Amino acid sequence: MAPKPFVLRMRRELGGQIEQPLWPDGMTCRTLDKADSKAAHAVLAAGFWEGGGGAPQYRQWWSRLRKDSEFDPTLFFLAVDREGVCGLAQCWTSNFVKDLAVHPRVRRIGVGRALMLTVFHAFDKRGAAFVDLKVREENLNAQRLYHDLGMRIVGREPG
């Protein structure tokens, strides 16, 4: 039997200086509008769930998300370029980044970093002391990004 995967909980303390997000040319950031939900789901499907057992269907994902007591569309950040939504960071109100995904067509140009910095600023403004997320132990690329952003591992649990 394959070993059970583990996830790491990573944390960024807030309160100090936070770098300003730098967006690639032609890209902007805004929060989720109801009309964006399908495009956001497409980015998740293309990016986040790759190799992770398949994406939930759009209807199921959107209906569960909207009903969650920790859902807040003003904490759902989208990166948008002329082709549409190309990245997202969806956060729960409990200072937690639930999903971060960047479409493969715009990877490694700083979109993930800019989204995370936007998240840190948003929670800092809300008076949060820290921001947490969970990342699979084998996802070293994402961990590299989080370490660069000043996040540290604060826990490890079966995924």
Ligand X SMILES: CC(C)(COP(=O)(O)OP(=O)(O)OC[C@H]1O[C@@H](n2cnc3c(N)ncnc32)[C@H](O)[C@@H]1OP(=O)(O)O)[C@@H](O)C(=O)NCCC(=O)NCCS
In the complex, which residues of this chain contact ligand X (CB under 6 A)?
47-48, 100-102, 107-113, 133, 135, 139, 141-142, 144-145, 148
Tell the residue number behind the tokens 């964006």, with chain if given: 36
Identify residue 116 by its one-letter amino acid code. M
We find the least distance from the C-beta atom of residue 116 to ligand X, in angstroms, to be: 8
Nearer to ligand X, 7 or 62 (CB): 7
We find the least distance from the C-beta atom of residue 131 to ligand X, in angstroms, to be: 13
- d(C-alpha 24, C-alpha 74), whole Å: 22
How close are the terminal C-alpha atoms of the chain, in Å?
Answer: 16
Give me 56's structure tokens: 């939930």
Tell the residue number behind the tokens 């994406």, with chain if given: 55
We find the least distance from the C-beta atom of residue 151 to ligand X, in angstroms, to be: 11
- The residue whose Cβ lies closest to ligand X is 112
Nearer to ligand X, 127 or 146 (CB): 146
We find the least distance from the C-beta atom of residue 47 to ligand X, in angstroms, to be: 4
Nearer to ligand X, 94 or 141 (CB): 141
Nearer to ligand X, 59 or 108 (CB): 108
- d(C-alpha 51, C-alpha 84), whole Å: 24
Cα-based distances in Å from 76 to 1, 45, 87: 37, 16, 11
